[in-house]
Amino acid sequence: MQNPIQEIEKYIRDIKDFPKPGIIFKDITPLLADPKAMKLTTNELLKRVPKEVDKVIGIEARGFFFATLLAEHLDAGFIPVRKPGKLPYKTHEASYELEYGSDTLAMHIDAIKPGEKVLIHDDVLATGGTAAAVAELVEKAGGEVVMLNFLIELEFLKGRDKLAGYPVSSLLKY
């Protein structure tokens, strides 16, 4: 078989000017729609993450897909981090700067117990603001961030600079 990374890349579709002009959106729906590509991707992600994990966080919404699969394989719990107003119980919130304005993410206050090892997963690492806010939420709850893990990294946006001090891993780099 071909190099697995090159094989997975075939299932990522570039959508120009979505959601606004100048953005090339990395669409993972062709990958999600193909069971072989999903299995291959899950296995490649698993090769790169720590094995001792208590909780896997998926970031709304495209982080949920692989985070749940990783949690199942790692025998860990899955935790959704969502936009404000979506989670029904009490939440911790963290805000972060966007190009224009700011955004906020929320996590249930009892999602992580102090001392738990937490793996954070999202589909795309762009500027790193989202992932840094989620790391802040984990630490607010007393958890330990063992890795920030991504399917895709847009290296030219230098998101890793915002995540200095944490182990970061991504499968596909553009």
Q: Which of 23, 39, 95, 161 binds ligand AMP (CB under 6 A)?
A: 23
For residue 25, state whether it binds ligand AMP (rule: CB under 6 A): yes
Among the residue ranges 32-40, 71-79, 86-94, 118-126, the one whose residues contact ligand AMP (CB under 6 A): 118-126
Q: Which of 12, 126, 134, 168 binds ligand AMP (CB under 6 A)?
A: 126
**Six token digits for residue 126:** 């762009």
CA nearest to 67, candidates 42, 47, 86: 42
Residue numbers annotated as active site = 62, 99
Asked, as a colleague might, if the bond just before 88 is cis with ω within 30 of 0, I would say: no
Nearer to ligand AMP, 5 or 24 (CB): 24
Q: Which of residues 142-171 bind ligand AMP (CB under 6 A)?
A: 154, 159
For residue 26, state whether it binds ligand AMP (rule: CB under 6 A): yes
HSE of 79 in the Cβ direction (CA atoms, 13 Å)?
A: 29
**Six token digits for residue 100:** 């224009």
Nearer to ligand AMP, 107 or 115 (CB): 107
Collapsing DSSP to helix, strand or coil, 59 comes out as strand
CA nearest to 93, candidates 117, 114, 109: 109
Minimal distance, residue 114 CB to ligand AMP, in Å:
27
